[in-house]
Chain A
Amino acid sequence: MARTRASTKRIREDSEEQSGPRPFWSGTLTFGLVSVPVNLFPATRSNRAPLRMLSPDGEPLARRYYSQKTERDLDADQMVRGYEIDKDKYVVVTDEELDRLAPEKSRDIDLKTFVPAESIPPVHFDRGYFLTPASGSEKAYKLLAETMEKGGQAGLATFVMRGKEYLVAIFAEHGILRAETMRFADELRSPEDVGLTKRKPKVPAASVRKFEKLISNKSKKQLSATRLKDEQTARLLTLARKKSAQRKNVVEVETDRPDEGKVIDLMAVLKKSLAGKG
């Protein structure tokens, strides 16, 4: 969803991203008339070995936006968000307008339906976020998590966050609520859309049995975590350590800038927030 969905709010936030353990979003989860103020944090971390772009001297570089007309760099408050209505003709839409376009009730995650947690097809799942209780809501939070986990249920809702409407399924696991953002039905292709038509040939029973046998022979009860290892990144880390030990292609720069080199430990942030200190 991020690709070219530019937002000036996001630009500002991205540049502040390193500055501290702030929730990604704060809002209210409701079921019935019960409201549970919550904070939302990502449940996924992107690439654990991001490469930085460096100058020939090894100085870490920053991405800057500049005007095509003046060729001068622009600050966040000199940029706006535009929708291309005609070639090179844009309608400017502000953060405020996007916020105000969301009806009052659409800002809360209002769980209107609870479904069996295993019944949602995985094609819908997009991205996971943990919900942590905001101060004062611990009891209601625990009550909802416990009820859903015992019943094996997931709660469903749509809500608007940062200029986009999300369909979410809320799951409870280990006493913690997790939101999975989901693709709407019209964001998924049907088999017909990709030219898969209904005519299925008659399949010889013998070849089905052959595949069943192959499946049985290669079946495991659990998926071993080693299967999900990112080997490409592991190889990169090995090479980087080797070059570092040999003092090959290593550059050191002063890190007096407060926003440089400080990677936020998402686990630590989550632990703090769940302990009620976030």
Chain B
Amino acid sequence: MAARAIWKGELKIGSTKIPVKLYSGVVDRAVRFHILDDKHLMRVKQHMVNPDNGDEVSSEEIQKGYEIEPGKFVILTEKDLEGLEPKPSREIEIMEFVPPEAISQQWYERPYYLAPDGDEKAYFALVEALKNRNREGIAHWVMRNKAYVGALRAEGDYLLLFTLRNAEEVISARDLPKPAGRAPTQKEVNMAKQLVGLLAGEFNAQDYKDEYRQRVMEFIERKAKGKAPRLHAVKTKRKAASLDSVLEKSLRSLGKEKRAA
């Protein structure tokens, strides 16, 4: 069964509008655990309490505050917060187009598919134009009372819309000092380059499987039947050897593997 659209809107580029449906591009496959109370093995509930006396404060009594200085809170009422919400809109407005390299890998947050919702010709014409020009669109839109910035990108025959992180959320390596420590020698640099060269390949997502998830699920199933296997304790190992001798050893063993293959 095909997934359901989570939102409908219009892509707006200049004065051109293309109706679209939005679908999540990801599936949650995490093993879902619940927090249980260990005596009764029942799911726990949560509430908010005053930590000084342990008294529960009901949700109607709770106020929201922004800590403007340590220990000093400005209360924001429901009305205040409603006033801060962006104006509802069905438009995904494309502000500008940039080359893909202009968008840092750190900004991409979550992908959504956009599907055509009426005007297929315009939708697919835009896909082709984005590919021909090798550009991504920078989008602004409001969905469920929240304003988003995003990147519109052609992937295969279709459009993907990524939410992007806000500038304040992301720390760039450029703003950090280079790590301290001695610089490697020329010999080490050459060997490392050779080593990375021997391990060079292409990214193929299908090569990587979450095997641990499978192990956890199998363990749970066996434990449910009362046949939990004994698990071995974790050992920690630590070995020290000089950097260039380890590099040499790596090159020798990898070189052998390559020749044998």
For A112, list chain B residues within 8 Å (CB): 199
The residues of A that contact B49 with a CB separation of less than 8 Å are: 61-62, 64, 73
Chain A: CB-nearest residue to B57? A55
Asked if A151 meets B138 with Cβ closer than 8 Å, knowing A143-B188, A200-B157, the reply is no
Q: How far is the CA of A147 from the CA of B52 in the complex (A)?
A: 54
* Interface residues contributed by chain A, number (CB under 8 Å): 177
A187 sits at the interface (CB 8 A): yes
The answer for the CA separation of A189 and B251 in the assembled complex, in Å, is 39
Set of chain B residues within 8 Å of A114, measured between Cβ atoms: 196, 199-201
- By beta carbon, the residue of chain B nearest A161 is B212
Distance in angstroms from B162 CB to nearest chain A CB is 6
Q: Give min CB distance, A70 to chain B, whole Å.
A: 8
Q: Please, which residue of chain B has its CB at the minimum distance from the CB of A56? A: B61
| Per-residue B-contact encoding for A102-129, CB less than 8 Å = 1, 0 else | 1010110001111100111111110010
Given contacts A191-B157, A227-B149, 16 further A-B contacts (CB under 8 A): A1-B28, A32-B195, A61-B57, A70-B37, A78-B39, A101-B219, A133-B179, A138-B181, A174-B176, A195-B2, A204-B125, A211-B16, A225-B167, A228-B165, A229-B167, A233-B166
- CA–CA, A232 and B94, complex, Å: 19
Number of A-B contacts (CB under 8 A): 542
- The contact size tier of chain B is 35 or more
Interface residue A80 (Cβ < 8 Å from any Cβ of B): yes
| CB contact list, B8-51 vs A, under 8 A | 13-14, 16, 23-51
CA distance A2 to B52 in the complex (A): 29
Evaluate contact between A82 and B212: CB separation under 8 angstroms.
no
As a 0/1 sequence over residues 227 to 249 of chain A, the CB contacts with chain B under 8 angstroms (1 = contact) are: 11111110111011101100001
* Cross-chain contact B80 with A239 (CB below 8 angstroms): yes
The answer to whether A43 and B170 touch across the interface, beta carbons within 8 angstroms, is: yes
Instruction: Tell me the minimal C-beta distance from A150 to chain B in angstroms.
Output: 8
Residues of chain B within 8 A of A91, CB atoms compared: 220, 223-224
CB–CB B98/A222 < 8 A:
yes
Contact of A164 (CB < 8 Å), options: B30, B108, B219: B30
Question: Which of B33, B61, B94, B153 touches A81 (beta carbons < 8 Å)?
Answer: B33
* Complex: A7 Cα to B62 Cα, angstroms: 27
- Pick 29 A–B contacts, CB within 8 A, sort by A: A3-B28, A32-B199, A34-B246, A43-B171, A44-B165, A46-B169, A51-B64, A54-B63, A54-B75, A79-B37, A80-B41, A81-B35, A123-B160, A139-B182, A140-B243, A167-B208, A176-B176, A176-B179, A191-B158, A203-B121, A210-B16, A218-B96, A227-B95, A232-B147, A233-B166, A239-B76, A250-B74, A251-B75, A275-B180
Partner of B105, one of A164, A180, A183, A244: A180
Known: A82-B34, A158-B208. A195 touches B3 (CB 8 A): yes
- A189 and B52 form a contact (CB under 8 A): no
| Residue of B29, B65, B147, B223 with highest tally of chain A CB at under 10 A | B65
Complex contacts, B250 vs chain A, CB 8 Å: 31-34
Q: How far is the CA of A267 from the CA of B177 in the complex (A)?
A: 10
Interfacial chain A residues near B215, Cβ < 8 Å: 101-102
Check A16 for interface membership: any CB of B closer than 8 A.
no
Cα of A71 to Cα of B80 in the assembled complex, Å: 34
Within the complex, the shortest CB–CB distance from B60 to chain A, in Å, comes to 10
Output the nearest chain B residue to A194 by Cβ-Cβ distance.
B23
Chain B residues lying within 8 Å of A69, measured Cβ to Cβ, are: 37, 39-40, 42
